[in-house]
A = this chain, B = another copy of it.
Amino acid sequence: MGSVMLGYVTDFFTYETTKSVVVKSWSVGIINRLVQLLIIIYFVGWVFIHEKAYQVTDTGIESSVMTKVKGFGYHNDRVMDVADYVYPPQGADIFCIMTKLIVTENQFQGKCAEFGERFSCTTDKDCHKHFGSVLTNADTPPLFLSYKPGVITGVCIQTSNDTLNGRCEIEGWCPAENDQVEIQPMLDVNNFTIFIKNSIRFPLFNVTRGNFPTTMTATEIKRCTYHPEKHPFCPIFRVGDVLNYTGQSVDTLASQGGEIGINIEWKCNLDLNIDYCVPKYSFTRLDAPFAKNAISKGYNFRSFAKYFKTENGTDFRTLHKAFAIRFDVMVTGNAGKFNTIPTLINLVAAFTSVGLGTVLCDIILLNFLKGAAQYKAKKFEEVSEAQIEASIAQSPGSQLSLKPCIKSSYDSGA
């Protein structure tokens, strides 16, 4: 029994290696090495050096953005400061600089004439077509984006200075807004500055970075302005510059409003010194995909009101239709660091790929080379069922000088 056990152990600790045919042929040899060289160059150059396939990447970035706008502008003969034109005020990643305000003062709840040619009428009947919600399927459905300041009552009011045409009556905040007025936008926005403080963290590697170097002193920061080449890490951005980088004119944007994206991109190779992990800024006009649609050009929001009370307690409000430049500070990024798993998987892929070079060489060797048949005969050793049966019919095992080896068949594939 012991010797049988020993036999199994002996069989287990054997080493199995493929039997190879070495072809001493210049032509195939050179092709073989060339193909291997190309594959190695591809893997080393592209996969490992360029695409950094030996790294694991963290794309789930944690980011916090703090913004602060500075500057003064004149609008409607008033000096506007940050508290007047920035909304929301707390310095979030999305903020609006209001550049044009259509102000409707002293609105009280009540009934009054609607504003605009579209709501002209001579009899009450003319106003009935304006009934209902935006979803009514009337002949001339009310358009979604045309603002109505209140609920149509169905009455036509004759306004004193316009005897022929009346206006439909509405119920709501009165007087109705007139947004057809021509107002000069606050072009001073050009000289406003935006200070952006962005701190990020790559949770996978527990690396924290800020968007300006710790070596920058307060004075340096206060005096600089961002410039792609000269001051790429200065966190202070002139609005005029930003609009310029996106190729937009301040005049159009200030009067119609618009959405500007300030993208902060972090691409960090944490195998290098952490000081190379720096932000890269880029600027885009976010509503660009909608440029071809006539709808919703620019950016404005009417839903901005200040509420007051009269002495006797009645509420009234000042409605602002604000045309604003909205800035979205968007932070994207990823960090890569050496990790054994992708390295190993790619190395194995590389090694196996080098082996795939033999496929090409075998095709050449066994088909196109002089003496292909001879090479084939050398490479392939044929066993047919007939032969095997014949050898079994004789004394099994006698024909073959080698003792049939007992092996776990799993090994043969490993």
Which of B21, B87, B219, B289 is in CB contact (< 8 Å) with A17? B21
CB distance from A89 to the nearest CB of B (A): 4
Chain B residues near A348 (CB-CB < 8 A): 349, 352-353, 356
Check B305–A308 contact: CB distance below 8 A: no
A201 at the interface (CB under 8 A from B): yes
Interface positions, chain A 251-280, Cβ under 8 Å from B, are 259, 261, 263, 265
For the complex, what is the distance from the CA of A30 to the CA of B20, rounded to whole Å?
A: 23
Per-residue interface assignment for chain A, residues 348 to 363, with 1 indicating a CB less than 8 Å from any chain B CB and 0 otherwise: 1101111110111111
Check A222–B412 contact: CB distance below 8 A: no
A contact residues, total (Cβ < 8 Å): 187
Check B385–A144 contact: CB distance below 8 A: no
Check B221–A295 contact: CB distance below 8 A: yes
Chain B residues near A201 (CB-CB < 8 A): 284
CB distance from A383 to the nearest CB of B (A): 5
For the complex, what is the distance from the CA of A13 to the CA of B27, rounded to whole Å?
A: 8
Check B19–A238 contact: CB distance below 8 A: no
Check B223–A144 contact: CB distance below 8 A: yes
For the complex, what is the distance from the CA of A413 to the CA of B379, rounded to whole Å?
A: 12
Interface positions, chain A 220-254, Cβ under 8 Å from B, are 221-223, 225, 236, 238
Per-residue interface assignment for chain A, residues 40 to 63, with 1 indicating a CB less than 8 Å from any chain B CB and 0 otherwise: 000000110001010000011011
CB distance from A231 to the nearest CB of B (A): 12
Check A402–B377 contact: CB distance below 8 A: yes
Per-residue interface assignment for chain A, residues 124 to 147, with 1 indicating a CB less than 8 Å from any chain B CB and 0 otherwise: 000000000111000001011111
Quick check: which of A114-122, A156-164, A368-376 contacts chain B, the rest being far away?
Answer: A368-376
A319 at the interface (CB under 8 A from B): yes
Check A301–B91 contact: CB distance below 8 A: yes
Check B62–A332 contact: CB distance below 8 A: yes
Check A389–B412 contact: CB distance below 8 A: no
Give the nearest-CB partner of A72 in chain B: B151
For the complex, what is the distance from the CA of A45 to the CA of B367, rounded to whole Å?
A: 32
Check A172–B24 contact: CB distance below 8 A: no
CB distance from A100 to the nearest CB of B (A): 15
For the A-B complex with A70-B147, A78-B109 known, give 12 more contacts whose Cβ atoms are closer than 8 Å. Answer: A15-B29, A17-B23, A17-B379, A18-B19, A18-B358, A47-B341, A79-B151, A90-B304, A105-B313, A135-B225, A209-B289, A355-B414
